[in-house]
Structure 1
Amino acid sequence: MGKAFDWHLIFDFIPTLLEYLMVTLQVLVYATVIGLILGMILAVIRLFRVPVLSQLVVVFLSFIRGTPMLIQLFLVFYGLPALLLVFGVDISRMAPAYFVIITYALRDGAIFSEIFRSAIKGVDYGQTEAAMSVGMSQAQGFFRIVLPQSASIAFPNVANSVISSLKDTSLAFTIGIMDMMGRGEALIAATAHALEVYIAMSIIYYAVVLILEQLAKVFEKRANRHKAPVVALD
């Protein structure tokens, strides 16, 4: 059993936990950037129905959707070194943070690929035809006309996914990452005030989520500032 609840400790724990928030945010940023690149590649492979690769992507997406995040984390942490060792590459001494970033990047890439694919398909094909009619190739039309419009469509879902990923990074401590969650577990072990620690962490996570939501609204508003307003017809 823990000790008697002391609400003063919540405010004592918050500064200590904040010192490790940067680790959590670094994992989020690196995983998101890699995930965006991977997601776009996977989306293009599926959209253009690249032989063999398209089928492999479908299997990969199904696996990511069908397995818990914690299992994926352990598979990468224990499985990737074992797999590469077969080819003579030893990464067993690599810092656990890299395995966390790889895992979250793969998960984010799978999620982003579906968001991007849906957004690209949401752009009217007439835009592509118009681009080709003025002499652009299909690739030029895609990157110069379709992609910018699809990015605007995809942004809200991408932002929501990033916020969700922030909360999921709390699992990183299970393989030895001393992030905010890991530091929180250490505080619980040292003080036996679990409730106060979890309340302090929830306050920090909630504050960061609110900030990210506001930033997402600002960026979305700026991205849509050139769109023509919709006029209702009587």
Structure 2
Amino acid sequence: MGSSFEPSLIVESIPKLLSYLHITIEILALSVGLGLLLGILIAMPRLYHIPILKEIVTVYISFIRGTPILIQLFLVFYGLPVVVGLFGIDITRMDPFYFVIVTYTLSNAAAFSEIFRGAITSVDYGQTEAAYSIGLTPLQNFYRIVFPQAFRVAFPNIANASISSLKDTSLAFSIGVMDMMGRGETLISATMHAVEIYISLAIIYYVIVLIFERLFKWIERYLNRYLVKDELSL
């Protein structure tokens, strides 16, 4: 698009793009946090074989897995106002940011539910029987015995899914959210130098991913700290 490659534009663009980093981080934090909560709830019908709900959840997860995140984003952005409008509620003027949060929460929840389901089933059922034998209720057994162990098993996959979600947030600009990618598109229009701007974006995303990888590895070591001590003592 530009007449010549200008390396200096890469350096100049990075601060301008970083000024919108907080939007990207907000999208990631909210969608991952809400996705974790919803993912745990979605995993329950399949874990405990709850009729009807199990089938609904299975179809939901299959749909999310089988469709691109961009299609899901457009379905929520254009479809949710139509569905809500049937009940007399007008959300057509709602900030696109919230449609992004809904989309990525639903997408992350499907992934997290499968991660949690596998992790929960990996916990030895003998521990559940032991918990019942000392008088714990099923709910107490879940959040005091099963879930802490399952979360430790699930965490590496949760970290990987979160990093993938970070990269997927770059599509939020397609419905008008002014995040880093959206700002990058405006800079491209203003400068006519697409390659330099995309290189700047690639650098920023790559550095953020490296930071998150280090953070997740530290958290994983912290979660497994007692296991490491037990292995060293053997």
Q: Which residue pairs with 1:94 in the alignment?
A: 94
Residue-by-residue CA offset, 1:116-150 (whole Å, 9 max, x unaligned): 00000011111101111212122221221001000
Q: Which residue pairs with 1:209 in the alignment?
A: 209
Deviates more, 1:143-152 or 1:1-10: 1-10
State how 1:25-64 maps to structure 2 within 5 Å.
25-64=25-64
Residue-by-residue CA offset, 1:53-83 (whole Å, 9 max, x unaligned): 1110000000001111100000000000001
Q: Which residue pairs with 2:199 in the alignment?
A: 199
3-state DSSP class of the match of 2:226?
A: coil
Q: Which residue pairs with 1:113 in the alignment?
A: 113
For structure 2, list consecutive stretches of 5 or more residues without a partner in the other structure.
none
Alpha-carbon distance in structure 2 between the residues aligned to 1:21 and 1:143: 35
State how 1:1-234 maps to structure 2 within 5 Å.
1-227=1-227, 228-230=229-231
Paired amino acid for 1:136: L
3-state DSSP class of the match of 2:136?
A: coil
Residue-by-residue CA offset, 1:194-221 (whole Å, 9 max, x unaligned): 1000000000000000000000011111
Percent identical among aligned pairs is 58
Alpha-carbon distance in structure 2 between the residues aligned to 1:34 and 1:192: 38
Paired amino acid for 1:212: F
TM norm structure 1: 0.97
Q: CA deviation at 1:226?
A: 1.1
Q: CA deviation at 1:230?
A: 4.0
Q: How many residues align?
A: 232
Paired amino acid for 1:79: G
Alpha-carbon distance in structure 1 between the residues aligned to 2:124 and 2:68: 36
Q: CA deviation at 1:18?
A: 0.2
CA-atom RMSD, angstroms? 1.2
